[in-house]
Chains A and B, each alone.
Chain A
Amino acid sequence: ETGVTQTPRHLVMGMTNKKSLKCEQHLGHNAMYWYKQSAKKPLELMFVYSLEERVENNSVPSRFSPECPNSSHLFLHLHTLQPEDSALYLCASSQVGLAGGRGNEQFFGPGTRLTVL
């Protein structure tokens, strides 16, 4: 496997279900991200982890719960979602902290297309 992988690629769930999204990066990066992308809207940053510590939480509802067990893996646990949570969920990774802001390029996984019924 290379780059950033995500599973599952598609997920349909009811509002009472619990599911998890998984992301793995094979790039040796020190930061991982969850984004939500809804139709015709900019990417919305949800969570950022650096070296397994959460460094950013953008007022995301508690029905989304991230987990970062190590620097290569990131999960997004989902429970009691709403239909408006249907979107493309993207994981990304980057190498942060290089001099002059260099680096920081984020590389995205293929995404999970989530539909909440």
Chain B
Amino acid sequence: QKEVEQNSGPLSVPEGAIASLNCTYSDRGSQSFFWYRQYSGKSPELIMFIYSNGDKEDGRFTAQLNKASQYVSLLIRDSQPSDSATYLCAENTGGFKTIFGAGTRLFVKA
């Protein structure tokens, strides 16, 4: 059974701090990894994707992928209260099926 594991949280960080969200996956064949943000009552919104080992930066977001250790992480710098949401990690092995984690709830305290 292919799985994506995330700590459900909640993760609480003060405004301006770095939020670190982690995810592990079981399928060594996974090729693509995604981070989605989901506000309460809304649908998931894609914020980052990464295919290669290493870091990928986009504004305040950095995705990190380590295929040898099978983990992917998301760093949010200068966290804002508006970043408070559930963050979903997902992986895809190149086909139609994307496996989603259950999500980590993040609270950014003003």
Contacts and interface: CB of A to CB of B under 8 A. Distances in A.
A11 interface: no
Range of interface residues on A (Cβ < 8 Å): 20 to 34
A96 B102 contact: no
A102 B51 contact: yes
Contacts of A110: 42-43
A111 B96 contact: no
B14 to A, nearest CB: 26
Contact of A100 (B31, B43, B49): B31
Nearest to B93: A101
Contacts of B98: 45, 94, 104, 106
Given A43-B88, A102-B32, A48 B97 contact: yes
Contacts of B95: 96
Interface residues of B, number: 27
A43 B97 CA distance: 12
Given A40-B102, A96-B95, A111 B43 contact: yes
Contacts of A34: none
Interface of A: 31, 33, 40-43, 45, 48, 50, 55-56, 88, 90, 94, 96, 100-102, 104-111, 113
8 contacts: A42-B101, A43-B100, A88-B43, A96-B95, A96-B96, A104-B98, A108-B45, A113-B41
Interface of B: 4, 8, 31-32, 34, 36, 41-46, 49, 51, 88, 90, 92-98, 100-103
